[in-house]
């Protein structure tokens, strides 16, 4: 089977599409093209479409290796056996099968697998619809329902915990107090330990402090435009918009926002920092020539809109200079924000209101369970402080009883 890859293209409207192609000439895989349109109709972001089609490509490779014709299987109401589903699940857990056995994140493995099952259902539905005999039609639908139940029971578990080489759990945690102190010191412009060039220190400081103070996702940060900050309000306001298929965004991987739009307030220090970056540095055409061509706040050394790769490079430069800050990433700062929120509200008497406000600040829905995934370090610390207090209370009670 020819190698399958995912390619993207931009339409005149600014909308971006992903398509599965095969072979050196990059010809579209015609049977999968309508499925890509379905993903678009579901409102998937470009990145999510790319991941979904990549999962379909993985599934098609597995089906080719096992010599499975999905249409033939559907017509015979056989679908995939449990053994075949296990093979698919195992392949979904591996990053690049032909290059080794590096395991992917369990949630990603689960998403891959369930996308393949969704694709199989999509292939099956029109085949079943063409069955004219009512009894056979119902039997085929029942077989599809049973297949989906069997598949979900064999799917990689999204809540399983990846481990490090030493067997310890691999978790995303916010920074320790020592890491936080070092981070806040060395990113300041002019600090002797600042790892960045003098030309970019103000930009990096503004960007990293915005990530630290407000906890946006990387895509939200990269999608911010100068007009999104209202410096005339007091306190100043910054709006995080949902701008899928933004015609202004010419980056290969456009900035996307997965969470809800929201307006967040800036304290005087962060407002002044962003104002200084935008009005005194970003607007300097000698330094950032291309910045006048687009509206985005954060730019690369040429003035072009900063990319996700550029943001990763900025943070990796910091961890290369200070390995003790590893594994800090843009998303770790979002976890750290939630740690600090939990610490600030630990003694609050209105936990329901605090939880509501936390979800609003992060752009999560009212029903979201994300607060349990974020701020794990603070939750762990709070839990252990309570355990120690319980132990002390127990010892005190035994001492009084023994006296």
Q: What is the pLDDT of residues 339-387, one digit of tens each?
A: 999 999 988 999 999 999 999 999 999 999 899 888 888 888 888 888 8
Domain 177-336 has CATH 3.30.70.100: no
Q: Is the pLDDT of residue 161 over 70?
A: no
Structure confidence at residue 390 (pLDDT): 82
Read off φ and ψ for residue 399, nearest 5 degrees: -65, -45
Rounded CA-CA distance 136/127 in Å is 12
pLDDT band at 45 (very low <50, low <70, confident <90, very high): confident
Express each pLDDT in 82-134 by its tens digit. 999 999 999 999 887 655 567 888 889 999 999 999 999 999 999 999 989 99
Average pLDDT rounded to a whole number, residues 136-151: 93
Least confident of 215-219, 258-262, 323-327, 386-390: 386-390
Give the Å distances, CA to CA, from 80 to 35, 72, 97, 140.
20, 11, 21, 14
Q: Please, are residues 4 and 22 in contact by the beta-carbon 8 Å criterion?
A: yes
pLDDT band at 166 (very low <50, low <70, confident <90, very high): very low
Give how far the C-alpha of residue 228 lies from the chain's centroid of Cα atoms, to the nearest Å: 22
Percent of the residues in the chain that have a pLDDT greater than 90, as a whole number: 67
Q: Please, what is the average pLDDT of the chain? A: 90
Structure confidence at residue 391 (pLDDT): 83
Structure confidence at residue 384 (pLDDT): 87
Average pLDDT rounded to a whole number, residues 245-256: 86
Q: Please, are residues 265 and 236 in contact by the beta-carbon 8 Å criterion?
A: yes
- Give me the half-sphere count of Cα atoms (radius 13 Å) on the Cβ side of residue 245: 16
Structure confidence at residue 395 (pLDDT): 64
Q: Please, are residues 212 and 324 in contact by the beta-carbon 8 Å criterion?
A: no
264: left (phi over 0), alpha (psi -120 to 50) or beta: beta
Beta-bridged to residue 229, according to DSSP, are 238
**Start and end residues for every CATH 1.10.443.10 domain found in the chain:** 177-336
Rounded CA-CA distance 375/397 in Å is 33
pLDDT band at 400 (very low <50, low <70, confident <90, very high): low
Q: Is the pLDDT of residue 229 over 60?
A: yes
Token pair recorded at residue 251: 């980056």
Structure confidence at residue 396 (pLDDT): 65
Express each pLDDT in 167-219 by its tens digit. 445 667 899 999 999 999 999 999 999 999 999 999 999 999 999 999 999 99
Rounded CA-CA distance 59/71 in Å is 14
Average pLDDT rounded to a whole number, residues 292-310: 96
Structure confidence at residue 169 (pLDDT): 53
- Tell me the pTM: 0.73
Express each pLDDT in 9-18 by its tens digit. 888 777 888 9
> In terms of Cα–Cα distance, which of 126, 127, 118 is closest to 147?
118
Rounded CA-CA distance 94/3 in Å is 17
Rounded CA-CA distance 317/324 in Å is 13
């Amino acid at each position: 089977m020819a190698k399958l890859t995912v390619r993207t293209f931009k339409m005149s409207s600014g909308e971006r599409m992903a398509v599965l192609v095969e072979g050196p000439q990059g010809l579209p895989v015609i049977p999968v093209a309508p499925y890509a349109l379905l993903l678009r109709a579901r409102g998937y972001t470009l990145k999510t479409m790319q991941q979904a089609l990549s999962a379909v490509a993985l599934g098609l490779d597995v089906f080719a290796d096992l010599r499975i014709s999905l249409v033939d299987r559907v017509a015979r109401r056989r679908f995939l056996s449990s053994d075949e589903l296990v093979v698919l699940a195992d392949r979904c857990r591996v990053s690049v099968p032909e290059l080794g056995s590096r395991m992917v994140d369990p949630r990603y493995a689960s998403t891959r697998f369930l996308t393949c099952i969704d694709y199989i259902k999509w292939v099956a539905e029109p085949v079943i619809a063409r069955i004219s005999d009512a009894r056979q039609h119902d039997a085929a639908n029942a077989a599809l329902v049973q297949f989906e139940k069997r598949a979900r029971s064999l799917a990689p578990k999204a809540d399983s915990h990846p481990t490090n080489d030493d067997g310890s759990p691999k978790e995303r945690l916010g920074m320790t107090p020592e890491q936080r102190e070092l981070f806040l010191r060395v990113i300041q412009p002019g600090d002797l330990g600042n790892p960045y060039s003098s030309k970019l220190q103000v930009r990096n400081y503004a960007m990293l402090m915005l990530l630290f103070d407000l906890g946006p996702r990387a895509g939200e940060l990269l999608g911010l435009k100068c007009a999104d900050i209202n410096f005339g309000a007091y306190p100043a306001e910054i709006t995080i918009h949902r701008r899928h298929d933004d015609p202004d965004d010419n980056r290969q991987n456009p900035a996307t926002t997965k969470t809800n739009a929201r307006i967040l307030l800036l304290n005087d220090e962060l407002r002044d920092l962003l104002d200084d970056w935008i009005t005194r540095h970003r607007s300097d055409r000698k330094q950032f020539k291309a910045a006048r061509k687009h509206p985005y706040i954060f730019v690369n050394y040429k003035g072009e809109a900063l990319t996700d790769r550029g943001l990763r490079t900025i943070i990796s430069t910091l961890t290369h200079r200070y390995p003790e800050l590893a594994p800090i990433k843009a998303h770790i700062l979002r976890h750290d924000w939630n740690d600090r929120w939990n610490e600030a509200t630990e003694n609050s008497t209105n936990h329901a209101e605090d939880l509501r406000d936390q979800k609003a600040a992060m752009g999560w829905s009212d029903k979201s369970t994300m607060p349990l995934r974020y701020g794990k370090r603070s939750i762990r610390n709070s839990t252990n402080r309570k355990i120690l207090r319980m132990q002390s209370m127990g010892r005190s009670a035994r001492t009084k009883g023994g006296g």
